[in-house]
Amino acid sequence: MELTIILIIILIIFGAGRLPEIGSGIGKGIRNFKKSVSETENEKIEGDKKDDA
């Protein structure tokens, strides 16, 4: 119920035309964040391997 109200408010504020743009932007941001986290974890693992050697 609360989610429906939030979606209606977002639709009123931004309009139906901009919703795909907003969704695309959010998706790109999430992908970039996940990529950065993954790269950081890989660097940490590689650093740990060098310390062990």
Distance CA 19, CA 2 (A): 19
Domain count, the chain: 1
pTM (2 decimals)?
Answer: 0.59
Residue 21, in any domain of the structure: yes
Q: How does pLDDT run along the chain (53 residues), one tens digit per residue?
A: 899 999 889 888 888 888 889 889 999 999 999 999 999 888 877 777 766 65
What is residue 28's predicted lDDT score, i.e. its pLDDT? 97
Distance CA 52, CA 1 (A): 53
Residue 40, in any domain of the structure: yes
Residue 53, in any domain of the structure: no
What domain range includes position 5? 1-47
